[in-house]
Chain A
Amino acid sequence: MPRTYSKAENRTYVLYTIPTLLLYGLLFIFPLILGVYYSMTDWNGISQAQNFIGLENYRNLFSDKRVVNSLVFSFKYAVSLVLIVNFLAIALGLMMDSKIKFQNTFRSLYFFPAIISLVVVGLVFDQIFYHVFPRFGEFFDIEIFKTNMLGNRDTVFWAVLFVSIWRETAVPTVLILAGLQTVPVEYIEAAVLDGASYVTRLRKIIFPFLVPVLSMNLVLTVKSGIMVFDVIKAMTGGGPGMTTESIGILIYKKGFQEYQFGMASSLSFLLLAIIAVISFVQIYALKKKEVGQL
């Protein structure tokens, strides 16, 4: 049983919490409350005039075409990102974990995209889509590469998604690889002796040990998919038209450029609700940890 602290000691402890709490209160809690208020006004973000209109903005959210469009885009984007990135991460992780040479070199190279700033990744690929791929297209006579894919409504989704995949596969792959190290070698050896096929070993031994890592990767990619901002801002700015307008981009545009501060605030809270639901699912999923624990 730890001792009880003296008055002076208690004061020291309280003092220790003050600097962070001050920052947290002023720059996080206060703006959050402010945001709730703004979301119930018709403020444009600049003028003196602002009227309290209750839940009007929230009611209007789903009748706003651009809001619905951004929700559909972000969900479609997140689902595609989750499926492709996690498939790649599992496949690459398993391949790197098999008995191959240069395992560490591969790991370092595959992790590399994670250290490059998302916005720079976007800017580099923006130039590549503009200048490089069309030359590819001309040379090999591939129709879809011939024009800038970012300027075409039919291809822009996949072009932007490709860039996100390029950047976001790195961390999940390395995490899968780390997770695979928790699978006891004896289990695998015993299964091999019993004549279990590779697929059976995957299903019965390896995947159960990967459950914590997999659920982590899932949440990681869902969140970065729903909140995609940097690459889109760097490459398309939401266009052409509103084809790549994600929730984050729309909040930014409505709030800072289109004088719909109140409306954008209510959209912010919708985003918050979506992320909160995902986070709770994460906690629930992680509680059901199976055999493997890192």
Chain B
Amino acid sequence: MRTQNSLYRIAIYAVLITGVLIILFPLYITLITSLKTPQESARSFFALPGTLYLDNFASVVTKAHYFTYFLNSIIVTVVSLTCEMIVVPLFAYAVSRNSNKKYYRIIYLLTIFGIFVPFQAVMLPTIKLLSRTNLLSITGLILMYVTYTFKKGAFLFVGFLQSVPRELEESAYMDGCTITQSYRRIVFPLLQPMIATMIVIDGLWIWNDFLLPLLVLNKNSMQWTLQLFQFQFKNQYSFDFNLAFASFLLSMLPMIILYIFMQRFIISGITRGAVKG
């Protein structure tokens, strides 16, 4: 019985470690290739680099405007999330405190309906509309992200707010607080855990998204996000794959660093969001 048990355990470790190796394999290749010269890679693809060769990174950063795209991605993600956290909870607050009224019920149903419509199904007319209104820019992209995070966000925030008792707000009203004051002082602070969850889910989506930047920013090369830049970089530098891997690594790096420091927070955010959605 004992030996059978430890055999099982060894098998489990073997399978799990094999899985980890498969997961880390592309990362390993990316790392070592980005640190090699083309000659070194030609000699052996899998060996560790002989010397620390950093020219690939230097090329990506200087010649390819890496920081411009990095900054664009930061702006798009931060501004979209900030706008979302300002307007979506307000909407959810109004809906959850007036759920007996027709107007709020209708607009809420309309919003829920939107959750079932994937972006791919409306991308054609949406992009035509953005192009006609001169919104094929970072501004247009941010407006799109706020609109699309609103659908699911409204659902999650309304659900959360319905479980928050109103007594506090009522007594604040007795003390002479207006709706706006009690929202800012009482309700908004209570929303913090929900906001943290939404920042993880939507932040991860916006930062990593490729389809929307491809459609909205493609013609505007100074406004590209990091992910779109990666895609375009493939066509420009297909002959020099060491350079390509260096750019892959640079675009993964911000997320990897964030993940190393906040993995528990990120994993629990995704878990909670998925369970509720």
- The interface of chain A, by Cβ under 8 A from chain B, is 2-3, 5, 9, 12-14, 16-17, 19-21, 23-24, 27-32, 34-35, 38, 45, 91-92, 95-96, 98-100, 106-121, 123-128, 130-132, 135, 166, 171, 174-175, 178, 212-213, 216, 220, 223, 227, 229-230, 233-234, 247-248, 251-252, 255-256, 261, 264-265, 268-269, 271-272, 275-276, 279, 294
Contacts and interface: CB of A to CB of B under 8 A. Distances in A.
29 contacts: A5-B98, A5-B179, A13-B94, A14-B94, A14-B103, A24-B147, A28-B114, A28-B151, A30-B129, A34-B129, A35-B121, A106-B16, A107-B267, A111-B270, A115-B258, A116-B208, A117-B208, A117-B210, A117-B251, A119-B208, A123-B244, A124-B245, A125-B26, A132-B29, A265-B124, A268-B121, A268-B123, A271-B120, A271-B121
A38 B124 contact: yes
A100 B16 contact: yes
List the 7 shortest-distance A-B pairs measured between CB atoms, nearest first.
A117-B208, A119-B210, A272-B121, A16-B94, A34-B125, A35-B125, A31-B125
A112 B267 CA distance: 10
B271 A174 contact: yes
Interface in B229-277: 230-231, 234, 241, 244-245, 248, 251-252, 255-256, 258-259, 263, 266-267, 270-271, 274-275
A27 to B, nearest CB: 4
Contacts of B270: 111, 114, 171, 174
B178 A12 contact: yes
Contact of B271 (A108, A135, A178, A265): A178
Contact of B230 (A19, A120, A269): A120
Contacts of A13: 94, 97-98, 179
Contacts of B97: 2, 13
Given A32-B122, A100-B9, A110-B23, A115 B266 contact: yes
Interface in B207-242: 207-211, 214-215, 227, 230-231, 234, 241
B23 A275 contact: no
Given A24-B114, A28-B114, A119-B210, A12 B23 contact: no
B90 A119 contact: no
A252 B93 CA distance: 37
A90 to B, nearest CB: 13
B12 to A, nearest CB: 5
A223 B119 CA distance: 12
B56 to A, nearest CB: 13
A96 B166 CA distance: 42
Contacts of B94: 13-14, 16-17
B251 to A, nearest CB: 6
A34 B266 CA distance: 38
A220 B267 contact: no
B210 A100 contact: no
Contacts of B143: 23, 27
A105 to B, nearest CB: 9
Nearest to A20: B91
A230 B210 contact: yes
A125 B114 CA distance: 34
Q: Which of B93, B123, B234, B241: most chain A Cβ within 10 A?
A: B123
Given A109-B23, A216-B274, A233-B231, A115 B204 contact: yes
Contacts of B241: 127, 130-131
Main secondary structure on chain A at its contact with chain B? helix
Contacts of B209: 117
Interface of B: 9, 12-13, 15-16, 19-20, 22-24, 26, 29-30, 41, 45-46, 87-88, 90-91, 93-95, 97-98, 103-104, 107, 110-111, 114-118, 120-129, 143-144, 146-148, 150-151, 154, 166, 170, 173, 178-180, 204, 207-211, 214-215, 227, 230-231, 234, 241, 244-245, 248, 251-252, 255-256, 258-259, 263, 266-267, 270-271, 274-275
B214 to A, nearest CB: 8
Contacts of A30: 129
B128 to A, nearest CB: 7
Contact of B256 (A115, A247, A251, A265): A115
A87 B146 CA distance: 35
Contacts of A233: 210, 214, 231
B120 A229 contact: yes
B93 A279 contact: no
A28 B45 CA distance: 48
Contacts of A23: 87, 143, 146-147, 150
B271 A166 contact: no
Contacts of A220: 274
A265 B88 CA distance: 30
A126 B234 contact: yes
B275 A234 contact: no
Contacts of A28: 114, 117, 122, 126, 147-148, 151
Contact of B12 (A17, A95, A126, A264): A95
Contact of A12 (B91, B146, B180): B180
A5 B14 CA distance: 64
